[in-house]
Amino acid sequence: MLHVLLFFYFLVSSSHAAVQDFCVADLKAPQGPAGYSCKTPAEVTVDDFVYSGLGVAGNTSNFIKASINTAFADKFPGLNGLGLSMARVDLAPGGAIPMHSHPGSVIAAFVSSDNTVYSRTLKEGDIMVFPQGLLHFEVNTGRTPALIWVSFSSSNPGLQILSYALFSSSLPSELIEKTTFLDDDEVKRLKALLGGSG
């Protein structure tokens, strides 16, 4: 049985009044700090406002037993300028979304800047808010796949998974050891597992 949990991630942001009805992303133009440039109204179609990519379960046969399918402006151009996006997270039994910044029986938690852990086992239909910029994670502790719906208050919120940032990169092992208090053997093991170098 697949359990579905609603999980919303809200960022504190200001709202600006729109000066036009919409700003559908022009994916042919470069992306700037404020998002994509707008397509001309003549180039906009109804397809820019419809996205069907969240209806299919993701492939969870990987190292973390999880899949994240995003509906960000680069895939769903109608979101551009609206200050929101969504994602579908599929977790196989035992799957985990590692600690990052940006459910059957899913434990979700975040760690505040004073290192207080806010953790809860979520049930079907539960919603948990993760404050902007705090490290957080989800783990499926159940025996059936879990589905998490995520909402962001940005059309392109970005994602950086801490484990991959450290151990899939070329960051020198010596720096990782000093900043994480892990020994050399463990850092080398994790870099080998996740494809890092240095």
- Residue 182, C-beta contacts closer than 8 angstroms, at least 6 positions apart: 176, 190
**Tokens matching residue 193:** 């597992």
| Residue partners of 96: CB distance under 8 A and separation at least 6 | 64, 65, 66, 137, 138, 139, 140
Instruction: Give the count of beta carbons closer than 10 Å to the beta carbon of residue 51.
Output: 16
- Tell me whether residue 58 is exposed, middle or buried, using C-beta atoms within 10 angstroms of its C-beta: 0 to 12, 13 to 18, 19 or more: middle
Q: Is position 100 annotated in a ligand binding site?
A: yes
187: left (phi > 0), else alpha (psi -120 to 50), else beta?
alpha
136 known ligand binder: yes
Bind-site residues for Mn(2+) = 100, 102, 136
Bind-site residues for oxalate = 102
Bind-site residues = 100, 102, 136
